[in-house]
A and B are shown apart, each in its own frame.
Chain A
Amino acid sequence: MAILETQELTYTYSVGTPFEKTAVDHVSLKIEEGEMVGVMGHTGSGKSTLIQHFNGLLRPTSGKVLLDGKDIWEEKEKIRDVRFKVGLVFQYPEYQIFEETVYKDIAFGPKNMGLDDAEIKRRVYETAHDIGLSEELLERSPFELSGGQKRRVAIAGVMAMEPRVLILDEPTAGLDPAGRDKILSHIKSYHERTKNTILIVSHSMEDIAAFADKILVMSKAKLFCYDETVKVFARADEIAQIGLDVPQITKVFGELRRRGLDFGKEVYTVGYARDLLLKQLKERGASRC
């Protein structure tokens, strides 16, 4: 059974005013447990609105959101429990930090869950380790940290609730390449360790190609497609039409094919391209000898 499912999900902002706008339009999709999903879409395509439905921050205008096959709005009082099961990290999450120490800020979520101190401590230390924050940072004020470190504190704050689904809205926006790689690799190892479902919204096709099993593409409030990474990037022309892009390396290999050098495979990551090229060179080298 799918862990998260939406049925004809529709959301309209400011109903009944001149600013009325449908941000999510009849979206139906199923996300399986343990998947790593990349969410793509133009600015204003409705992806941020969509993900805020997954943990019940927004209530659908019509349609349903199912968690483990159960409508999350069936029991309105229990919507908080949904938020512990589906953790959402907003864009620029460092702006939500408010506690005096890093430890306290990460502990805010688990504390709200009503866990005991020992369990909170275990979770804070574990997630701090997962996200690459050293233990001596835990007693520092979060406001003294660097931008990348603050970002990781905020992500840890949600991870510490050990949600079964972790959603991150552009976790690398505004960071330098080193900070970006660090966060992505930590998220990846977290995924490998916990096998939890992860959704990452990103504008970087390179990032998505590097980690996502599946890609969800939103365009003009509608679900454009939701499929395996390979299949989505194979539709490069359509993707380009809705104003998005495939990874640069894919473009390079597409161009190579157009000029008569076909590798017979789709290429999405630089690492894979390197292996493919090396293999090809080896074979050619061997045939020449």
Chain B
Amino acid sequence: MLRDITIGQYFPGDSIIHRLDPRFKIVITLLYIIMLFSGSSYICLAVGAVFTFGAILLSHIPLKMFFKSVKPLIIFLVITAFLNLFLMSTGDVLWEWKFLKITDKGLETSIFMVVRIVLLVMGSSLLTYTTSPITLTDAIERLLSPLKKIKFPVHELAMMMSIALRFIPTLIEETDKIMSAQKARGAEIDTGSFTKRAKNLISILVPLFISAFRRADELATAMECRCYHGGEGRTRLRQLKSAPRDYIALAVTIFFLALVIVLDRIF
């Protein structure tokens, strides 16, 4: 059950997308989001879709994984679709029942919004699928480093992020283990009445918190043993270096963005 969570999951690989400089990837993702939201016609969305699927194809990650990333958002998508479908009152009426009515404009907008969100999620999943959490936080640290000038604790923030990201899978695994152990003692966790389940949650949360605190303590000791003292003067194992391909990828993205903006003006 918990294993199905894919947010932030990294799929190791050696595709062109994997090898792009993570700093560029973050910037490209931001541009991509702007691209999706700056067009308001189908043709703009189509350009966005071409860009998304092109990038997915290049990443060599099965398309199935991207649909999986959309799965948790289905309820959200359905609500979005319904709200747009019923609340849009302009356009020709297609169907009417009491106070509910569907217009062609409403139908169009709801399809448009759903496709846009799906593309948004799939495109941003590509970033986390092809970039390991550690390099991602490295890149964020570098991108935010100008903020150091105004005494913003960039390094500490990045360290907190990488620790949090690092421990998500560990904690999921731990939760899974504790759940199994309590189930083996007859605790009703995915069956039984709501009150019983809520009660049994204690048998999972207490060990989970204890182990999280223990891990935090151990980690702090381990960091101190290695003389960790913050970001000042710290060198890196992996230096981020930009290559021509990064600039090409950026140029392609900017081209697509420009295309969307131009097309939006025309149509």
Residues of A within 8 A of B (CB): 14, 16-18, 52, 55, 57, 77, 80, 83-84, 87-90, 93, 95-98, 108-109, 112-113, 143, 157-158, 161
Our pick among A83, A97, A143 for the contact of B184 (Cβ within 8 Å) is: A83
On whether the beta carbons of A84 and B186 are closer than 8 Å, the reply is yes
With A95-B211, A98-B202 as known contacts, state yes or no: A158 contacts B64, CB within 8 Å. Answer: no
Q: How far is the CB of B94 from chain A (nearest CB, A)?
A: 39
CA distance A143 to B186 in the complex (A): 22
Residue of A whose beta carbon sits closest to that of B174: A95
Complex Cα distance A143/B207, Å?
Answer: 11
B104 within 8 A of A: no
Residues of B within 8 A of A158 (CB): 184-185
Within 8 A of A (CB), among B164-201: 177-178, 180-188, 191
Query: Could you jot down 8 A-B contacts, CB within 8 Å?
Result: A52-B180, A83-B184, A83-B185, A93-B181, A95-B177, A96-B207, A98-B207, A108-B185
Does B62 make an interface contact (CB < 8 A)?
yes
Cβ-closest chain B residue relative to A79: B191
Which one, A77, A90, A98, A161, contacts B186 given CB within 8 A? A161
Residues of A within 8 Å of B187, CB to CB, are: 108, 112
Task: Specify which of B11, B178, B181, B188 lies most central, judged by the most chain A CB atoms within 10 Å of its CB.
Answer: B181
B98 within 8 A of A: no
What 3 pairs between A and B have smallest CB-CB spacing?
A112-B186, A98-B206, A96-B181
Q: Is the CB of B184 within 8 A of A57?
A: yes
Given A95-B178, A98-B202, A98-B203, also A83-B62 (CB < 8 A): no
CB distance from B162 to the nearest CB of A (A): 22
Q: Which residue of B lies closest to A88 (CB)?
A: B184
Q: Are B181 and A90 in contact (CB under 8 A)?
A: yes
B3-A109 in contact (CB<8A): no
* CB proximity of A53 to chain B, nearest CB, Å: 12
State which of B178, B184, B202 has its C-beta within 8 Å of the C-beta of A87: B184
Residues on A with C-beta less than 8 A from B180 are 52, 57, 90
Distance to closest chain B CB from A189 (angstroms): 23
With contacts A18-B11, A90-B180 taken as known, whether A161 is within 8 angstroms of B185 at the C-beta atoms is yes
Contact: B185 with A90, CB < 8 Å?
A: no
CB of B254 within 8 A of chain A?
no
Query: Which residues of chain B are within 8 angstroms of A96 by Cβ–Cβ distance?
Result: 178, 181-182, 185, 203, 207
* B207–A95 touching, CB < 8 Å: yes
Q: Given A14-B3, A90-B181, A98-B206, are A109 and B64 neighbors across the interface (CB < 8 Å)?
A: no
Nearest CB in chain A: distance from B199 CB, A? 11
Considering the complex, give the chain A residue whose CB is closest to the CB of B200.
A112
Q: Which residue of A lies closest to B214 (CB)?
A: A95
With both beta carbons as reference points, the residue of chain A lying nearest to B65 in the complex is identified as: A17
B202: chain A residues within 8 A (beta carbon):
98
- A151 to chain B: closest CB distance in Å? 13
A14 to chain B, nearest CB (A): 7
Tell me which of B177, B186, B210 contacts A80 (CB under 8 A): B186
| Residue from the list A17, A18, A77, A109 in contact with B185, Cβ < 8 A | A109
A55 and B11 contacting across the interface, CB-CB below 8 Å: no
Interface string of B73-96 (1 = CB under 8 A from A): 000000000000000000000000
CA distance A158 to B187 in the complex (A): 12
Within the complex, what minimum Cβ distance (angstroms) separates A106 from chain B? 10
Query: A87 vs B183: C-alpha distance in the bound complex, in angstroms?
Result: 10
CA distance A57 to B11 in the complex (A): 28
A80-B188, A90-B177, A158-B184 given; A108·B207 CB < 8 A? no
- Whether A83 contacts B183 in the complex (CB less than 8 A), given A17-B65, A97-B207, comes out as yes
Query: Which residues of chain A have C-beta atoms less than 8 A from B181's C-beta?
Result: 90, 93, 95-96
Least Cβ distance of B48 to chain A in Å? 27
Contacts of B203 in A (CB 8 A): 96, 98, 108
Q: Are B184 and A55 in contact (CB under 8 A)?
A: yes
Q: In the complex, which residues 184-234 of chain B have their Cβ closer than 8 Å to any Cβ of chain A? A: 184-188, 191, 202-203, 206-207, 210-211
User: Within the assembled complex, what's the spacing in Å between the Cα atoms of A80 and B189?
Assistant: 11
Interfacial residues of chain B within 49-71, with CB under 8 A of chain A in the complex: 62, 64-65
5 new A-B contacts at CB < 8 Å, known A88-B184, A157-B185, A161-B185? A83-B183, A90-B181, A96-B182, A108-B203, A158-B184
Interface core residue of A87, A108, A112 (most chain B CB under 10 Å): A112
Query: Bound complex: CA of A84 vs CA of B186, how far in Å?
Result: 7
Q: Please report the C-alpha to C-alpha distance between residue A52 and residue B184 in the assembled complex, in whole angstroms.
A: 9
Q: Which of B1-60 contact A (CB under 8 A)?
A: 3, 11
Q: Which residues of A contact B178 (CB under 8 A)?
A: 95-96
Complex Cα spacing A42 to B67, Å: 36
What is the CA–CA distance of A195 and B188 in the complex, to the nearest angstrom? 29
Of B3, B65, B186, which one neighbours A83 at CB under 8 angstroms?
Answer: B186
Question: Measured between C-beta atoms, what is the minimum distance from A61 to chain B in Å?
Answer: 14
Q: How far is the CB of B185 from chain A (nearest CB, A)?
A: 4
